[in-house]
Amino acid sequence: MANEQHISQLYPGFKASQVDWKDHNGLFLVSNSSVFAFGFFGYETPQIYWSTNVSKKVHSASLVSNSWDFYDQNGDLLWKSVFTEKSNDPKAMFAAILEPNGVISFYDLNKGKSVTPETMRIPQDPCGIPEPCDPYYVCFFENWCECPKLLKSRFNCKLPNTSLCSRTPKELIYVGEKLDYFALKYVQPVSKSNLSACRDECLRNCSCRVLFFENSTGKCFHFDQTGSFQRYKGSSGGYVSYMKVSIEDNGDGRNGRNNATLVVVAIVMLTILVIVGLVMGFWYYKKKYYFLENSAETLEEDDFLDNFPGMPTRFRYSILSKATKSFSSKIGEGGFGSVYLGVLEDGTQLAVKKLEGLGQGTKEFKAEVSSIGSIHHVHLVKLKGFCAEGPHRLLVYEYMGREKSDVYSFGMVLLEIIGGRRNYDQWEGSEKAHFPSYAFRMMEEGKLKQVLDPKIDIDESDERAVTAIKVALWCVQDDMNSRPSMTKVVQMLEGVCPAPDPPSSATSSTFGSYAAFLKMSSGEASSSGQASFYSNVPMSCVQLSGPR
């Protein structure tokens, strides 16, 4: 027993009718005044966090074989909890242990160790105890703790210890929605009204530190002290929560006027730094321009660029300026410059990257051109040329169309419309956070109802809904080559040809599985199947549908 950290022990055969005590640390209360329950006694007002929830009073309990049984005065079974597999040892003896965090675990007295698995504890939810996280933090399903955004930004997650009944003005700050709290199922609401009335009641009640409001029922709950919040487990519902603080409190309890002064000082200092930075930047630019105009350096650079083996084509600045119509067609930005669309006299389309504000000297530009120009890969955009003329530094790449990225974006938008939610939402829980992955899994399990927006009045067996989901999942394939063309997307949505089942979530990131599918469905080589699917030529229904 020396290795087991616990507060109190409930051995076999104890009389529950006489139980009404606190553990020796004074934090947890075990009571049988109405129903057998465990409560947290560390707050000014004790809060119940677990109960047998039976109508009759518990008279006795026993730890026999593999279960914890509670009986009334007549010996009738009121409540039962199975905590391990049935033991064949007739001498097996167990003890129920109230641990320091409030969890009730079970201990094998003969083996001298806790019963496994540890999930067979009371309560089983790791977030269902008073303080699995710090007070006011939100405990998620995997016992992961997170500070609410407003508390983090305003108080650094440390709520000031302000008296609720002082005369200083108070305000309610928003904690979050879809929340839960362990004690809510065991207390009565202070009222049933609307959120505005619930907030007003909390502001008037000096014993109200935190309020919870349930929109569906109008129930309003007040607490003078709380532990960790919980993330609501249901797909919809939960509680909205607000916390009362002093208006003068503004992060670590400092006065609002002092903070306002600090903000003014910070703005003045930032303005000075910006002005100094602009002056230094202008001086640096003039200095850089001077050195780039230096004739000796320009001759040395020209000699290197003209004689370097394997160097791509060198363009004159005037040619690129004409091809891009004086750099008027901007198609992108980033990576130390802007990218413009250009067309040479022979009709070749180019993507011209104009390096800006890089502070790049001769040596750096030499290294960049020589390294990029020597790289040739099927999945990388090829460097076709460059321009190094006076202060101008430009890189010329082959132009790559974005049709497949448009298909991906269309699929994402279509999924959002079908599901009525964003494609990534961390508040949906780990299983549903990434909506495309969740939609893949639900389709494989035949649960399309879970994918559809509940606000849409449509049955999951409706062929239009099934087709739309399949098309969306085809469009968001990780492999660009696995996505259909927009022409094929329109054909599937209009019912010209049926939409095949997309690859499973385990194989959707590779093109090989889909190439094999095309080969089986058309009887042709994978290369011809691929061209048939992604071209704009109408496809036969047999080719598109394939094996299910």
pLDDT band at 87 (very low <50, low <70, confident <90, very high): low
Lowest mean pLDDT among 62-76, 85-99, 153-167, 191-205: 85-99
Give the highest mean pLDDT range of 23-37, 161-175, 360-374, 521-535. Answer: 161-175
Cα–Cα distance measured from residue 111 to residue 99, given in angstroms and rounded to the nearest whole number: 19
Q: How far is CA 140 from CA 81, 223, 235, 441, 450, in A?
A: 25, 21, 14, 22, 22
Cα–Cα distance measured from residue 473 to residue 465, given in angstroms and rounded to the nearest whole number: 12
Give pLDDT, residue 240. 94
> DSSP character for 393?
E
With a cut of 80, say whether residue 55 has pLDDT above it.
Answer: no
Q: Is residue 500 reached through a cis peptide bond, with omega within 30 degrees of 0 on the bond before it?
A: no
Q: Is residue 117 reached through a cis peptide bond, with omega within 30 degrees of 0 on the bond before it?
A: yes
Which of 43-49's residues contact partners 24+ apart within 8 Å by CB, and which partners?
Answer: 43/224, 43/225, 44/224, 44/225, 45/223, 45/224, 45/225, 47/130, 47/182, 47/183, 47/186, 47/187, 47/223, 48/183, 48/186, 48/187, 49/102, 49/123, 49/128, 49/129, 49/130, 49/182, 49/183, 49/186
CATH architecture of 8-114: Orthogonal Prism (2.90)
Cα dihedral 233/236/238/244 (nearest 10): 120
Question: Is position 354 annotated in a ligand binding site?
Answer: yes
pLDDT band at 112 (very low <50, low <70, confident <90, very high): confident
pLDDT in tens, 378-428: 334 678 888 888 788 888 887 766 555 678 889 989 999 988 888 888 788
Give pLDDT, residue 532. 41
Q: How many CB atoms lie within 10 A of CB 407?
A: 22
With a cut of 80, say whether residue 149 has pLDDT above it.
Answer: yes
Give pLDDT, residue 220. 96
Cα–Cα distance measured from residue 292 to residue 388, given in angstroms and rounded to the nearest whole number: 10
Listed residue (320, 322, 323, 303) closest to 311, CA to CA: 303
Give pLDDT, residue 404. 56
Cα–Cα distance measured from residue 416 to residue 453, given in angstroms and rounded to the nearest whole number: 9
Q: What is the pTM of this model?
A: 0.41
Q: What integer is the mean pLDDT of 146-159?
A: 84
Lowest mean pLDDT among 115-119, 303-307, 433-437, 540-544: 540-544
Angle at 514 between CA 510 and CA 518, to 5 degrees: 160
Enter the CATH code of domain 299-398.
3.30.200.20
3-class SS string, 528-548 = HHHHHHHCCCCCCHHHHHCCC
With a cut of 80, say whether residue 350 has pLDDT above it.
Answer: yes
With a cut of 60, say whether residue 537 has pLDDT above it.
Answer: no
Residue with the bigger pLDDT between 13 and 149: it is 149
Lowest mean pLDDT among 43-52, 127-136, 265-274: 43-52
Angle at 138 between CA 124 and CA 244, to 5 degrees: 130
Q: What integer is the mean pLDDT of 272-295?
A: 78
Give pLDDT, residue 238. 87
Rg (CA), the chain: 34
Q: Hey, which bits of 295-435 come out as E strands?
A: 313-314, 330-333, 337-343, 349-355, 383-389, 392-398
With a cut of 70, say whether residue 134 has pLDDT above it.
Answer: yes
Which of 540-547's residues contact partners 24+ apart within 8 Å by CB, and which partners?
Answer: 540/497, 541/497, 541/498, 543/518, 544/488, 544/491, 544/492, 544/497, 544/498, 544/499, 544/500, 545/497, 545/498, 545/499, 545/500, 545/521, 546/500, 546/517, 546/518, 546/520, 546/521, 547/517, 547/520, 547/521
Q: Confirm if 480 and 505 have CB atoms less than 8 A apart.
A: no
Enter the CATH code of domain 138-246.
3.50.4
pLDDT in tens, 353-368: 888 765 555 556 666 6
Phi, psi of 494 (to 5 degrees): -85, -5
Give pLDDT, residue 275. 93
Every domain of the chain and the residues it spans: 8-114, 138-246, 256-293, 299-398, 403-545
Cα–Cα distance measured from residue 258 to residue 249, given in angstroms and rounded to the nearest whole number: 11
Enter the CATH code of domain 403-545.
1.10.510.10
Tokens for 537, please give them.
């030529």
Mean pLDDT for the chain overall = 74
